[in-house]
Amino acid sequence: MKPQHLLLCAIPMAFAACEGPSYSFRAGPIFADVRGDLALANSAGQLPTANSMDGGLGFDDSKSAYFEGQVDIDRHRARISTMQIDSEGAAVLDQDYGDIVAGTAVNTEHDFTSVVANYSYEFIREEGYRIGLGAQLGYYAMDVNVRGAGVPGRELLETDGFMPMPYFEAEAFVDDVTFGASGGIMYGDWGDARGHYWDLDLYSVWNLSDRFDVRGGYRYIVLNGDGRASSRDFDSDWDVQGFYLTFGALF
């Protein structure tokens, strides 16, 4: 079973034995793009200056499906979200990238996968707001494929890892609308890279009825690290961010 599938199963199984939970499932599009810089060492081990993701590597904005599941039991909340972003582009390298030299016209592809599971305990709740603290485990994977356009040369970087984080969640209630912020921040050596990582979510939820809601928000993921993957050293300072809109069913 793939790591992301294990995450998707873990939290619902943990709550399956409890009585009286409420469930919600949401799905919709996310309009996201990858920004920042990426450097890949050449076969001699030299790490050049980084290319920008949207300039030297030519990645465009992209649209993807966004899914989220949530379980609430009294003061306990567990949530899982996942998205996969695929994008293609074309550019002229500003800097060397691996063994492909600066000035080369390239075609590029990137695949980004995020599967995040978190748990929070609501330790403050008043009529107009609630605050929860807990823990988050995220699985993040990025594949970057750069090929010379009509000339020899191809570099494939595949990097992934699990990232545990402390987690916070804060919500305010105004009639049928909830305004919220949640996320986690961590620094460490995890998976293929060491560095700092953020995963933040700003959102609002409009409860249409007892059974349906609409959720819109802005997801901001920072993966800033250096390490080794695909037998090459790399240095990355990238973020994935964008707006999403989901429609939910409550059970």
For 74-130, the pLDDT digits (tens) are 999 999 999 998 888 899 999 999 999 999 999 999 899 999 999 999 999 999 999
| Nearest alpha carbon to residue 188 among 224, 218, 221 | 224
Highest-confidence segment of 16-25, 196-205, 229-238: 196-205
pLDDT band (50, 70, 90) for residue 134: very high
- Given a cut of 70, whether residue 10 has pLDDT beyond it is no
Please compute, for residue 224, the number of CA atoms within 13 A of its CA located in the half-sphere on the CB side: 14
> According to the model, what pLDDT value does residue 2 have?
53
- Whole-number mean pLDDT of the chain? 89
Q: Which of 135, 191, 192 is nearest to 165 (CA)?
A: 135
Residue 185 token pair: 């921040």
Conformational region of residue 27, where left means phi above 0, alpha means psi within -120 to 50, and beta covers everything else:
beta
- Residue 63's CB: how many other CB atoms inside 10 A? 14
Is the Cβ–Cβ distance between 28 and 223 less than 8 Å?
no
The DSSP-derived string for 154-214 is EEEEEEEEEEEEEEEEEEEEETTEEEEEEEEEEEEEETTEEEEEEEEEEEEEEE-SSSEEE
- Per-residue confidence band for 190, with pLDDT thresholds at 50, 70 and 90: low
For the cut 70, the answer to whether the pLDDT of residue 169 exceeds it is yes
**Cα atoms in the 13 Å half-sphere on the side-chain side of 48:** 18
pLDDT bin (cut points 50, 70, 90) of residue 195 is confident
φ/ψ of 175, rounded to 5, equals 55, -120
Q: One-letter amino acid identity for 3?
A: P
Give the single-character DSSP code of 9: H
Strands 62-73 and 76-92: antiparallel
What per-residue confidence (pLDDT) applies to 26? 98
* 3-250: CATH superfamily: OMPT-like (2.40.128.90)
Residue showing tokens 């993701």: 53
How far apart CA 93 and CA 184 sit, in angstroms, is 34
Average of pLDDT values for 184-211?
Answer: 88
